[in-house]
């Protein structure tokens, strides 16, 4: 059995990780179990403890608080249960799998998004919406802001959407639009926040750009179904699809290799895909995709 210590299973893209893990596990005769921490680091520690007690062969964990999990990761190591870090690294994580969006690599998603904005609005003004309480997402926001500045853009403001929903982002964006009416682009760490920002922009009587048309560029991340529809409808400029079903398969593949005398790579990165008006007609829903271990699109 392989377990997944999910940070927040209600988030659609994270739920797809569990779906992919279950598909992949079944394909090799394993069983996958998902336990939800609901953004509570203490609950995540308890969930990992439960998975150890259930004799999990490996545990995938998207770390909420590295300090809180260090002890339980050590316990897993003592029990010979490898921890697969999901967009996470640190003490006790021997093998890590990453979405490309989580890597601040040259030419990666952060730079591509910044270039998309700069191509329409050279010297443009940008506001960002993150989730600063989750270290991995805070680092993604920092990466984008660095890329934006390198592309000649100005970051007017950053807000943390601690409610982690569209309503919270809508309120934050409405406030920022009042303070910064000349904003050209809004970068959001996930699709719920991007959709909330879009609702605020439309409510303010402004339009959303498709990347080439007039209006405010708004980008999200996760490739949620609502965001895909919003791209089709012209309510969102783009969304980065983390290919989370495939990511679930990658986690299981890494665990399988790790259990074969530690043959798994220490770090593996899965490519992310940007969906915009230019390629949205090619989109296939995650659960309808044909996925296999052999066809995973690995960056490194």
pLDDT tens across 278-288, in order?
999 999 999 99
The per-residue pLDDT for 272 is 96
Please report the pLDDT score of residue 39 as a whole number: 87
Please state the three-class secondary structure of the chain as a single string. Answer: CEEEEECCCCCHHHHHHHHHHHHHHHHCCCCEEEEECCCCHHHHHHHHHHHHHCCCCEEEECCCCHHHHHHHHHHHHHCCCCEEEECCCCCCCCEEEEEHHHCCCCCCHHHHHHHHHHHHCCCCEEEEEECCCCHHHHHHHHHHHHHHHHCCCEEEEEEECCCCCHHHHHHHHHHHHHHCCCCCEEEECCHHHHHHHHHHHHHCCCCECCCCCCCEEEEEECCCHHHHHHHHHCCCCEEEECCHHHHHHHHHHHHHHHCCCCCCCCEEEECCEEEECCCHHHCCCHHHCCCCHHHCCECC
pLDDT tens digits, 172-181: 999 999 999 9
Question: What per-residue confidence (pLDDT) applies to 29?
Answer: 97
Predicted pLDDT of residue 13: 82
> Within the chain, which residues score under 50 in pLDDT?
none
């Amino acid at each position: 059995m392989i377990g997944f210590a999910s940070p927040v299973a209600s988030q659609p893209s994270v739920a797809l990780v569990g779906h992919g893990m279950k598909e992949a596990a079944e394909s090799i005769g394993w069983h996958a179990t998902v336990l939800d921490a609901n953004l509570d680091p203490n609950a995540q520690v308890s969930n990992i403890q439960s998975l150890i007690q259930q004799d999990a062969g490996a545990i995938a964990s998207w770390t909420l608080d590295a300090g809180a999990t260090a002890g339980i990761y050590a316990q897993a190591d003592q029990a010979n249960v490898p921890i697969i870090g999901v967009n996470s690294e640190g003490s006790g994580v021997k093998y890590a799998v990453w979405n490309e969006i989580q890597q601040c690599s040259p030419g990666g998603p952060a730079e591509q998004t910044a270039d998309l904005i700069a191509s329409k609005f050279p010297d443009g003004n940008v506001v960002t919406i993150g989730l600063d309480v989750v270290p991995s997402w805070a680092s993604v926001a920092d990466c984008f802001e660095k890329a934006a500045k390198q592309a000649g853009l100005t970051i007017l403001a950053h807000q943390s959407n601690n409610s982690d929903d569209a309503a919270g982002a809508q309120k934050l964006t409405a406030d920022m639009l009042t303070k910064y009416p000349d904003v050209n682009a809004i970068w959001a760490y996930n699709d719920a926040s991007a959709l909330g920002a879009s609702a605020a922009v439309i409510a303010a009587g402004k339009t959303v750009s498709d990347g080439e048309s007039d209006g405010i560029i708004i980008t999200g991340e996760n490739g949620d179904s609502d965001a895909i529809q919003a791209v089709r409808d012209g309510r969102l400029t783009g969304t980065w699809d983390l290919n989370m079903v495939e990511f679930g398969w990658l986690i299981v593949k890494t665990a399988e290799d790790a259990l074969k005398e530690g043959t798994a790579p220490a770090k593996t990165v899965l490519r992310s895909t940007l969906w915009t008006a230019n390629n949205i007609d090619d989109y296939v829903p995650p659960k309808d995709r044909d996925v296999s271990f052999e066809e995973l699109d690995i960056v490194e």
